[in-house]
Amino acid sequence: MELQDAIRGRKSIRRFKPQTIPKETLREILELAARAPSAENTQPWEFYVLAGETLDKIRTENVEKIKNFEMPPAEMHHIMVERPKGSLFRERQVEIGKQLYGLMGIQRDDKAGRAAWVEEGFRYFEAPAAIIIVAEKSLPIEGTYLDVGAVMENICLAALDFGLHTCIENQGITYSDAVRKHASIPETKRLMAAIAIGYADWDFPANQVESLREPIDNVITWHGL
Ligand SMILES: Cc1cc2nc3c(=O)[nH]c(=O)nc-3n(C[C@H](O)[C@H](O)[C@H](O)COP(=O)(O)O)c2cc1C
């Protein structure tokens, strides 16, 4: 696959076919993705690749927790990001939400429909596998996040070359206690990111989403060119 096609073709997929992914394919994707740069080649990432019964147990426990309005563990403060009210960032957040709810035919006042849609994220959008990226807690989170971001995007791009799609999702690690318990992730490691991965179900309405981007000239400042 051409690099430009991969970059343009990557999008968040929110329903996958039940088809399982060969373990070797997942290994190849991660091997490729781990060519990502990292500060002073520290390579802070580690991957927990979850499928089958383990992933199903996490899905079930996640949904129980969200149904009970359980707060995420305090250790997950790094993913609880509030965008300033009235900001452009909040506007973009609202826009993508409106698109998704619109495609799913969920009305603003349909509380049950909205709750059911939120649960989908906590079920990894029915993906056959999820990749949890973790890093040692002894590492400072700031720089580590950049390195993890690089490997995360590489995973999403590499996946496309194997006919697979992805959704990076904070929802997947919100209940870190559930993920830790079923995937046996030690307390010394911080959960940084979750990626649902699988074969896209293109008949699913939310998968028609087309996220917008700011025109590039609005975010470039040139000097000396
Ligand atoms: C750090 C991070 C966390 C995300 N968490 C979620 C999530 O919890 N649920 C979800 O549906 N999408 C999640 N996304 C996907 C974004 O909504 C998506 O990347 C954005 O809307 C742009 O759309 P695109 O990926 O289709 O280009 C996350 C993306 C990133 C980078």
**Region 91-100: what's the mean pLDDT?**
97
**Region 205-212: what's the mean pLDDT?**
98
What does the pLDDT look like over 11-55, one tens digit per residue? Answer: 999 999 999 999 999 999 999 999 999 999 999 999 999 999 999
- Ligand 1 centroid, distance to 207 Cα (angstroms): 13
Atom of ligand 1 nearest to the CA of 193: 1
**pTM of full prediction above 0.95:** yes
**Region 110-131: what's the mean pLDDT?**
98
The preferred substitution site among 80, 81, 141, 167 for testing ligand 1, maximizing ligand atoms within 8 Å of CB, is 167
Atom of ligand 1 nearest to the CA of 210: 26
The preferred substitution site among 169, 171, 211 for testing ligand 1, maximizing ligand atoms within 8 Å of CB, is 169
What does the pLDDT look like over 97-107, one tens digit per residue? Answer: 999 999 999 99
- Ligand 1 centroid, distance to 90 Cα (angstroms): 14
What does the pLDDT look like over 145-196, one tens digit per residue? Answer: 999 999 999 999 999 999 999 999 999 999 999 999 999 999 999 999 999 9
The preferred substitution site among 91, 93, 170 for testing ligand 1, maximizing ligand atoms within 8 Å of CB, is 170
Q: Residues with Cβ within 6 A of ligand 1?
A: 11-12, 14, 96, 121, 167-171, 211
Token pair belonging to 145: 């996040």
